[in-house]
Copies of this chain bind each other. A is one copy, B any other.
Amino acid sequence: MKTADPELMRAINRFNVLDTIRRHGPISRVEISERSELSTTTVSAITGALLDDGLILTRHEGDLRNAASRGRPRVMLELNPNAARVVGAKIAAHCMVFAVTDFRGEVLSQLTLPIRVNRQSISVIADLIEDGVRRCVVDAGLVLGDVDSICIGLPGVIEHRTGLVRSSPIFRETDVDFANEMTSRLNVPTIVESDAHAIALAHHWFGKARDLDDMVLVSLEQTLGLGVLHHGQLFRGAGGLSHNLGDLVLGIGPQDIVRLSALAGENAILGNQPDGGGRFAEAMRLGRGMAMAQTLIAADDNTLLAAATRAGEAVGLAVANIVTLFGPPRVIIVGSSLSLGPVFLDSLRDAYRRAIPSSIQAVAELVFDESADETWAQGAAVVALCELYESPWGTTGPAPAL
């Protein structure tokens, strides 16, 4: 366990204040004091330091409380958008999305490349990502030197702490040290993170978990991912690695194990068609599999209806198990599979309702969200920002040189 010295104390309170300002928009010092339960004196000292460091800005308008109030008006504080820039990327099998954001996590520029990276070599993928990052940065009117940090969101099992990609459907190799690879290519600190963790943080900052510090997110893309938020922080496994939900076992056949990915993975839904799997081949290669499936389902394609129903059922059971283990107040379900439509969703909800133990039935609510790809990239950017927020900035340490 790390030792508690004044520096840690400072870092904790500083983060608290910064996070309060981020969450509650332009906010006055008194209100920060109320929300964070720090004394006004301390808030004043910390905000002073944050102002010196250029992380926040003052604004003399926008005091929302009863306009006809006496006394000295409050000075509102807000994040300085220009305090930092980060790049977030979401890499999927058929598509790469990049987003440059400011210190608040607001997107400055965005770039979607519908490129199939699936099964390419590492260096080719790294080339494409490097290119995308550079172009997106230019689009934002910046140069790479302005960027403080980059986060690449990938499907699969990612070890955030070490920067290792343990296994990913878009990499042929396993145990790739991708964070180092990209850091040396771009000469900007680059980290990797599970795409599910990225979208989970995006929802925590901007989406459907803004009000919660505990929740679970299930992502249904080519890979089935899980993000657990615990006391406001991502719950990373003991080794700091992310989970692969698709590996969950849902039953056991006469000979073989039935995994979730075999019932609800993108390939499972679209790939096992009776005509030998060729029907979707072209659409899937282009990343349009789910859109095509949606069309066919609307036309009552029986095979697909059955596949979607089965997939929904499997996911419903898996979600029930996750709720049993984590007991979150909310489960957010995202990903391309949602576009299968009501057939899938109803089946999912129904299976969940049957599978959830009655004793914890009321604990969790299910929320569905069809986020745009941009949101995933933004989430990756948020992962990078989170590290910046916690990092020891200028004034932490000895007294500022006067």
Which A residues have a C-beta under 8 Å from some C-beta of B? Answer: 1-6, 8-9, 12-13, 16, 36-38, 157, 166-167, 174, 214-215, 226, 230, 232, 235, 237-239, 241, 243-245, 247-252, 257-258, 313, 317, 320-322, 324-329, 351, 354-355, 357, 359-360, 363
Residues on B with C-beta less than 8 A from A215 are 238
Docked complex Cα distance between A232 and B215 (Å) = 22
Whether the Cβ atoms of A230 and B238 lie closer than 8 Å is yes
Within 8 Å by CB of A321, from B6, B16, B321, lies: B321
Return A1 CB to nearest CB of chain B, in Å: 6
Oligomer copy total: 2
Return A156 CB to nearest CB of chain B, in Å: 9
Residues on B with C-beta less than 8 A from A327 are 237-239, 241, 243
Whether the Cβ atoms of B4 and A9 lie closer than 8 Å is yes
Residues on B with C-beta less than 8 A from A328 are 237-238
Within 8 Å by CB of A5, from B9, B214, B241, lies: B9
Docked complex Cα distance between A188 and B336 (Å) = 55
Within 8 Å by CB of A252, from B3, B4, B351, lies: B351
Within 8 Å by CB of A9, from B6, B241, B258, lies: B6
Return A203 CB to nearest CB of chain B, in Å: 16
Return A369 CB to nearest CB of chain B, in Å: 19
| A252-B251, A325-B325 as given contacts; A239 in contact with B363, CB under 8 Å | yes
Residues on B with C-beta less than 8 A from A36 are 1, 3
Q: Closest chain B residue to A364 by CB distance?
A: B238
Residues on B with C-beta less than 8 A from A237 are 326-328
Residues on B with C-beta less than 8 A from A8 are 4, 9
Sample of 26 A–B contacts (CB below 8 Å): A3-B13, A3-B38, A4-B8, A4-B9, A9-B9, A157-B359, A166-B359, A167-B359, A174-B359, A215-B238, A230-B235, A230-B238, A237-B327, A237-B328, A238-B329, A239-B329, A244-B357, A247-B324, A247-B357, A247-B359, A249-B317, A250-B250, A250-B251, A251-B251, A252-B313, A252-B351
Residues on B with C-beta less than 8 A from A9 are 4-6, 8-9
Whether the Cβ atoms of B16 and A12 lie closer than 8 Å is no
Whether the Cβ atoms of A320 and B239 lie closer than 8 Å is no
Return A161 CB to nearest CB of chain B, in Å: 12
Return A182 CB to nearest CB of chain B, in Å: 22
Residues on B with C-beta less than 8 A from A245 are 324
Across the A-B interface, give the 5 residue pairs with the lowest CB-CB distance, nearest first: A237-B327, A251-B251, A214-B238, A247-B357, A4-B12
Whether the Cβ atoms of A325 and B324 lie closer than 8 Å is no
Return A394 CB to nearest CB of chain B, in Å: 20
Q: Closest chain B residue to A317 by CB distance?
A: B249
Whether the Cβ atoms of B257 and A355 lie closer than 8 Å is yes
Whether the Cβ atoms of A249 and B355 lie closer than 8 Å is yes
Whether the Cβ atoms of A324 and B239 lie closer than 8 Å is no
Residues on B with C-beta less than 8 A from A326 are 237-238
Q: Closest chain B residue to A318 by CB distance?
A: B249
Q: Closest chain B residue to A320 by CB distance?
A: B249
Most chain B CB within a 10 A radius of its CB, from A232, A237, A317: A237
Most chain B CB within a 10 A radius of its CB, from A2, A6, A321, A326: A321
Residues on B with C-beta less than 8 A from A16 are 1, 3-4
